[in-house]
Amino acid sequence: MDTVDKIDKPDYYNTSKPKSEAQKLQLRKCFHCGKEKKMGKFERYCSVICRSYATKHDQGSFKISW
């Protein structure tokens, strides 16, 4: 049993996820109020209030209406 544990497997047998780095924050402007704040890659609003107000009162043409 000891020899089986010591055998190196090829890379394609490695199914473990790579270690992800911590989320990189960048200084971005809020899409609603224009304040600059450090945000992640996909964040566009500085707070929950800005996000909810901007999405409730959206005048865009790509809206799903029920």
Q: What is the pLDDT of residues 21-49, one digit of tens each?
A: 667 889 999 988 999 999 988 899 999 99
Q: Is 5 helix (H, G, I), strand (E, B) or coil?
A: helix
What is the reported pTM? 0.52
Cα(58)–Cα(60) distance, rounded to whole angstroms? 6
pLDDT average, residue stretch 1-29 = 73
| Of residues 38 and 8, more confidently modeled | 38
The pLDDT value given to residue 41: 86
pLDDT at 9: 73
The tokens describing 36, both together, are 């600059």
Predicted confidence at residue 30, as pLDDT, reads 92
